[in-house]
A and B are shown apart, each in its own frame.
Chain A
Amino acid sequence: MPVARAEQAGCARWDGMSELSLAEALRPPAVFCAEAGAGGKVPAPRRNAGHSLGLVVTARSAFMYPIAKVFVAALAQRLPLCPGQKDQIHIALHEAVGNAVLHGNLGVGSDPFDSPAGLAAMRHMIDSRLASDCLGLSGIRLDAGWTATFLTIAVRDSGRGFQPTHDQRPSGETSCSGRGLFILHALCDRVRHFASGTGVMLAFVL
């Protein structure tokens, strides 16, 4: 089996090799899963049993694989989510994880890429930072907890944090970037930034 399943009940390790192996590692009864080699300032998820699921992955894997999609599919194995809710949570979590990787762990600024050259330069910066083990292996942590009527997912990064503004709209309607936070606020029932901006809590009424 490609995944090193937990020697301890509820704990799993992901080999970082594929989307399928991550789905396998997150299969119930896993309560938390950590990618081998993930480091940085992000501590391991809480290992409380019950209605929770935690995951720690590297920035490199969070950029390479559809972590949010697999994580939400794993949640759907544990609590009833209708297709519309799955889409809603998937989109919001994808944006939160993307922000955590790019603006958190990799420290990429939020300046808009407003030209093909700017797009290429941003991509070059991302690739070079992901290639560094210091940043590429830094951790991203997801913690989900739920009740019958409420789901929260906290996303924590290993970056320096940021100061969220009250106005989360794009800087202009034709701006090429800056829509991630706007989408979060549009799709979540509540969004809360914490830990000096290195964490964001997404809440959904089920």
Chain B
Amino acid sequence: MRFDYDAGSGCFAMTGEFTFADHPIFQGVLTQIGDGRDRSIVFDVSGLSFIDSAGLGMLILAREEARKLGSTIRLRGPRGQVKRILAVTKFDALFPVEA
């Protein structure tokens, strides 16, 4: 998985496959989240082609870290396998999801 962060809009644009092997990369996302308070953060997952249970767990971890700082996270643009796994695990009830 790779991500580009736009500090102005608070948007993380994620691309590739997001799996357990991406722990080190995701630490960078957590660091960016920890740098601000009371923000509206977007995870643009439209460029993700695959996510596994560990990737979902890291999304939850990011949500909890954001919540401690008064920030919120919403998901944008899930497609294909990512959209399917979000529905199977009912993640669409845990995160606001934009088309």
Which residues of chain B come closer than 8 Å to A116, judged between CB atoms? 27, 30, 61, 65
State which size class the interface on B falls in: 20 to 34
CB distance from B90 to the nearest CB of A (A): 8
Point out the residues of chain B lying under 8 angstroms from A123, CB to CB. 23-24
Q: A94: CB under 8 A from chain B?
A: yes
Task: Tell me, yes or no, whether B5 is within 8 Å of chain A by CB.
Answer: no
Can you name 14 A-B residue pairings with CB atoms under 8 Å? A98-B52, A98-B54, A102-B20, A113-B57, A113-B61, A116-B65, A119-B61, A122-B23, A176-B60, A176-B61, A177-B53, A177-B57, A178-B53, A187-B88
The residue on A at minimum CB distance from B31 is A116
Residue B26 at the A interface, CB < 8 A?
A: yes
List residues of chain A with CB within 8 A of the CB of B73.
none
Q: Are B80 and A87 in contact (CB under 8 A)?
A: yes
Q: Quick one: CB contact mask for A43-82 with B, threshold 8 Å, 1 for yes? A: 0000000000000000000011010010000000000000
A169 CB to closest chain B CB (Å) equals 10
Q: Tell me the bound Cα distance from A116 to B23 in angstroms.
A: 10
Residues of B within 8 A of A119 (CB): 23, 26-27, 30, 58, 61
Are B61 and A91 touching (Cβ within 8 A)?
no
| Chain B neighbourhood of A95, CB < 8 A | 52-53
**Chain A 11-37 interface mask (CB, 8 Å, partner B; 1/0):** 000000000000000000000000000
Chain B residues with Cβ below 8 Å from A69 are: 50
Closest A residue to B84 using CB positions: A87
Picked from B24, B53, B81, the residue with its CB within 8 Å of the CB of A179 is B53
Task: Mark B23-39 against chain A: 1 for CB-CB distance below 8 A, else 0.
Answer: 11011001000000000
Q: B53 to chain A: which residues have CB within 8 Å?
A: 95, 98, 177-180, 182-183
